[in-house]
Chain A
Amino acid sequence: MTLHVLYVDDDADIREIAALSLGLDPAIAVETAASGQAAVERARQGGLDLILLDVMMPQMDGRTTFAALQGLNLTPPVPVVFVTARTQAHEIALFKDLGAIGVIAKPFDPMTLARDIRALHTAALA
C-alpha cells in the first residue's frame, strides 16, 4: 500500500533532496510544501498518511503548523514527524510530548530516510 507523505520545508534544495530520497522507496508517494500555511492547506484536502515537518520556518514555524494541523481535527489524525537541525534531548522530548510520532535530525541520511520514516510510521500505527 502506497504511503502518502508530505514533506514541509522552506528550503527548496532540501525539499528536492527529501523528495528524491523518499522517492527511492517505490511504495512512498511524496509531495512537498514550502510553508506551514501550504502544509495546512494540503492536509485539509486529506489523503495524507504522514507529514514530515521542518521546525525552523519563517512566519509559521513547525510547532505552530503542528498546532494548526491538530486544529483541523482530521480523521483519522495524520501522524507528524518533526525534522530539525536542533537536536537537544529535551527538545526531542518536547516534540514527542506535543504528540509527534518521531523526530529526525538534520542533516538526514538520504539513503535511509525512507526506511526511517516507514519504521516510525509502523511503530505509531502499532
Chain B
Amino acid sequence: MTDLGMARNPEGDGAASTGRDRRGWRRGIRRVMAIGLLSAGIAVAIVLAVGFASFREFASANRLREELLYSSLIRDHLQHIFEDLLSAESGTLGYVVTGREEFLDPLTSAQENVRQDIEALSRLAWARPEHSVALTELSRFAEEEIRLLLEMAETRNKAGGLAASTVMEARRGKAVMDRIRRVVMDISAAEVAAAEQQTFQVRLASQRTKQTLLLLLSAAIAVVVGSTLVMIAHLMGRRRAEMVLADTLGRHRATLASAMDAIVTVNDKGQIETANPATTRMFGWSLEELAGAPVARLFLPPGETAARRPDMLDQLVAQAADGGAAREFEGLCKDGSPLPVDVVVGRMQSSDGNRLVAIFHDITERKRAEIIKNEFVSTVSHELRTPLTSIAGSLGLLNGGAVGELPPPAKRLVFIAHENSRRLVRLVNDILDIQKMQSASMTFAREPVVMEEVARLAIEQNTGFAAEHGVRLTLHADEADTSVVGDQDRLIQVLTNLISNAVKFSPADGVVALSVERREDVVRVCVQDHGTGIPESFRASMFTRFAQADTTDTRQRGGTGLGLAIVKEIVDRHAGRISFESEEGVGTSFYVDLPARLMSTPAPRQKEPAPVLLVESHTASAKVLTADLAREGIATERAETAAECEGRSVLRAYRAILIAPLLRDRDGISLVRSLRRTERTRTTPLMMVTLPLTPETEAEAEGETAPRPLMALPVAGWLDSPPERARITSLAAGLDHPPVLLHLCLSGPARRAMAEAARGCADVIPAGNLAEAHAVLALRPCDFLVVQFDDAALSPQDLEALVRQPPGTLPPLVGCSPADLDAVQARMLADLMAKGAGGLAHLTTLAEWRDTARTGGPERKGP
C-alpha cells in the first residue's frame, strides 16, 4: 500500500472542498445531537421537578390529614369526657332524686371512660404542648367532678336525699362543670382554628404546586416542540443536501460519461476503482476488465518489461505531490499499441481511504502535429536558405563591386536588397534556433566554459560589426575563476545578441562595455551601453518573440525581434538568469548570471578511490545496487537522469559509470555516446546495468543473500551505423597500438561499412555468430567486441548468450547502431539484459577497473 500523501495537500482543491463539506455535515450532526441531549436533559429535569412537587404535595396532604385526624381525636376525647361527665351528673342527680341505684350507672361508666379518655388525651398531648396546661386542668377538674358526684351519691346513700340536695345546691358541681366546659371549648376552638389554619396553608401550597407543575409542563411541551422542530429542520436540510448530492452526482456522472478524456480513480494499492467510458474508447479495455486492474496496465513501461511497471503508482503519487500538472506518458492500449497521453493527477480524500484521480488526454494528434511542424520548420528553413544563398551571394558580389562599379542609384538599390537578404538569413536562422530550443531538440553541450573567454570571443566576432556603427567594444574581467558549465557556442550567441543590440542602439563613437565577474556561486556577465535606453512600456514584453520597441526598429536597426527571446531561452537552459537596468537617454545594462562551476576539491595524495556513478531513474533498483556496491567496498553516487549524469561527470572524475538502459529523460545508449564525446569521460569505464524489481521482489532483493535479477554489461563505447572513422579512432585512446575490433555482424553492407570506416585506423575481424567470435578469440587477442545491434540477421540466441558471458571471456563491448534508433535499441538491450542474470560478478570487476581507468583503456586480453 502506498501513502497517497493527502496530508500534504495544502491547496483548496477538490479533495479539500469535499473535506469542507464533510466537516460541515459533521458540525450539523453534532448540533442536532447537542440539541437532543439538551432537550432530554431538560425533560429529565422537568420530570424530576414535577415528581418532587407532586411528592411534596402528597406529603403535605398526608400531614394535613394526620393533623385533622389528630385534632378530631382530641376533640372526640374531649367531647366524650364532657358527655360522660354530663351523663354522670344527670345520673347522679336522678339518683339523688329517686334513690334508684340504676341512675348511678353513668357515673360508674364515666369513672372508667373519663380515665381512659384522659389517658388517651395525655398520649395525644405530646404533639400539643400548648394544651398541656389545659389538659392538666381538665384532668384535675374531671377528677374533682367525679369526686363531687361520688360524694353526692355517697351523701344520698348515707344521709338521704335532702343532705344530697344540700350538697347539690352548694353548686360546686356546676362550677367545676363550667370550668370543664370552658377548658373543652377552649381546646376544641384552638384545635379547630389550628386545623383551619393548616388547611388554608396546605391549600395555598397546593395552589403554588399546581402553578409550578403547570409551568414545568409548559416548559416540557416547549422543549419537546422546539427540539422536534430543530430535528425536522435538520432532516429537511439533510434531505435537501441529499437531493443536491444526487443532482451533483448525476451531473458528474454525465460529465464523466461524455468526457473526451479517460478519467480513472486509483486506490492506494495502485488498482483502478472506477473508469469512465472514454477510458474504454481510448485504451480498448472494458470497464469490467479495468475495475481492480493495476493502473500500470494503462502505461507503456520503459522497457516494456512487466517488472518495471509497478512504480507507476509511485510516479503518479509523486506527480500529484508536485501539484499534478500534466505530464507526458506513453500509454498502452489493450491491443499492445502505444498511445501518447498527457496525464494530470489529483488527490481525493474519502472516508474509506485516499485515492488518486488520473486524467488521460490523448495527444496523438498533437504529437503528429508537432512532428509535422518541426519537420516543416526545418524543411522550410533549409529550403529557404538554398535560394537565399544565391540571392544574398549575388547581391553580396554586386554590392562588393566584384563585377565592377554600379551607377550610384543602382548601387543604393543593391545595397538595400543585400541588407534585407542578410536580415532574411538572420531571421531564418533565429526562427530555426528558437524552434529547436523550444522543441528541446537542440542539445546543449555541458562542458566547462570560461566566461571571460566567451566574452573575448564574442567581442572578437562583433568587432567588425561594431566598427561599422562606429562603436568600440571593451572588456573588463575579474581575476577570479569565471568558469561555468555549458555550451560555449550558445553562450557566445547570447553575448553576440546582446552586443549587437547594444551596438545598434549606441550613438556613433559610443562604447559598449563588457564585464565578467565572479559573485560567490554566480558568474555575472554585463553588457553595458550608453544608448537610447529601453522605453518603460516595452520592458515587460522584452523577452517575447517578435517584440520590438518600435515597429520601425525592425527596419532601421535590422533586427529580427527574436534575439532576446533566444538569449533568454539559452540562459534558461543553462539554469541562469537574465536581467537588465535601463534609463531612457542614459543607457542600458544587461546582466547574465550563470551558476559558477564548482571545482572539485583538490585531491589529497592518499585519497580514496573515486566513487562509481550510478545512473538509474528507478529508486528501488538504485538503492539495492548501491547497497551491493557498498558491501564490495565501492562508494557510489547516484544520478537520476542522463542530464544529471552529464552534469556530475563534468564536475568530478568517477571510477566507472553504471548506466540503466532506460532513463527517465533519455536512453542509456545516447548517454554512452555523449559521455564518450566528452573529454572528461572519454575513457571512464562504462557498464550497462539492469535490476528489474517488482514490489514483490523489491523487499526480497534488499536482503543481503537474496538472488538478484541483476545484469551488468561492460560497454566500451557506441558507434554510429554506418560507423564514423573518428569514433573508431577514439576507441584507440590509451592503447599503444591500433585497436583490434571483433565485429559481430552478419550483414554484408554493415561489414563493408565497418571495414571501410576502420581502414587505416583499426583492424576489423568479422564474426557471424558468437561461436565464430570465440574461435577468433582463441587464435588472437581482440581489444573490442563490436556488436552490430541493428543487424536483423544476427541471431537473438547469440545476443542472449552474449549478455550471459561470464566476465572476462569477451573483450569490452562496443555497440553499433544508428543514433536515431538509440531509444529503440536501449529498450531491446534492456529486454535482452532482463533475460540474463549475471549477479555481482561483473560489478566486482570494478575493483580491477580502478587501474584501467588510470591508463584510460582496458587491458588487452588473450594468449
Contact = CB atoms under 8 A, between A and B. Distances in A.
Interface of A: 11, 13-14, 17-18, 20-21, 24, 56, 67, 70-71, 85-90, 93-94, 97-99, 106-111
B442 A88 contact: yes
B665 interface: no
Contacts of B727: 97
A89 B757 CA distance: 23
B375 interface: no
Contact of A17 (B394, B425, B442, B489): B394
A66 to B, nearest CB: 10
Interface residues on B, range: 20 to 34
Contacts of A86: 382
Contacts of A88: 436, 442
A17 B403 CA distance: 11
Interface stretch (B31-39, B385-393, B501-509): B385-393
Interface of chain B: mostly helix, strand, loop or mixed: helix
Contacts of B490: 89
Contacts of B445: 89-90
Interface string B433-453: 000100000110100000000
B252 to A, nearest CB: 50
Contacts of A14: 386, 389-390, 393
A99 B725 CA distance: 8
B385 A107 contact: yes
Contact of B397 (A20, A89, A106): A20
Interface of B: 381-382, 385-390, 392-394, 396-397, 400, 402-403, 425, 429, 436, 442-443, 445, 487, 489-490, 677, 722, 724-727, 756-757, 759
A93 B730 CA distance: 14
A67 B726 CA distance: 12
Given A18-B393, A89-B487, A110 B382 contact: no
Contacts of A87: 429
Contacts, number: 80
Contacts of B677: 93
A21 B397 contact: yes
25 contacts: A11-B390, A13-B394, A14-B389, A17-B397, A20-B402, A20-B403, A21-B396, A24-B400, A56-B382, A67-B722, A70-B725, A85-B381, A85-B382, A86-B382, A89-B489, A90-B443, A97-B724, A97-B727, A98-B725, A99-B726, A106-B389, A107-B389, A110-B392, A110-B394, A110-B396
A20 B487 CA distance: 36
Given A67-B756, A90-B443, A106-B386, 11 more contacts: A17-B390, A17-B393, A17-B394, A24-B402, A67-B757, A85-B382, A89-B445, A89-B489, A90-B445, A107-B388, A110-B400
Contacts of B489: 89
A108 B393 contact: yes
B772 to A, nearest CB: 27
A108 B389 contact: yes
A85 B443 CA distance: 18
B566 to A, nearest CB: 14
B397 A111 contact: yes
A93, A106, A110 — which one has the most chain B CB atoms within 10 A of its CB? Answer: A110
A111 B402 contact: yes
A16 B792 CA distance: 45
Contacts of B381: 85
Contact of A97 (B393, B429, B726): B726
A13 B759 CA distance: 37
Given A90-B443, A106-B389, A111-B402, A98 B726 contact: yes
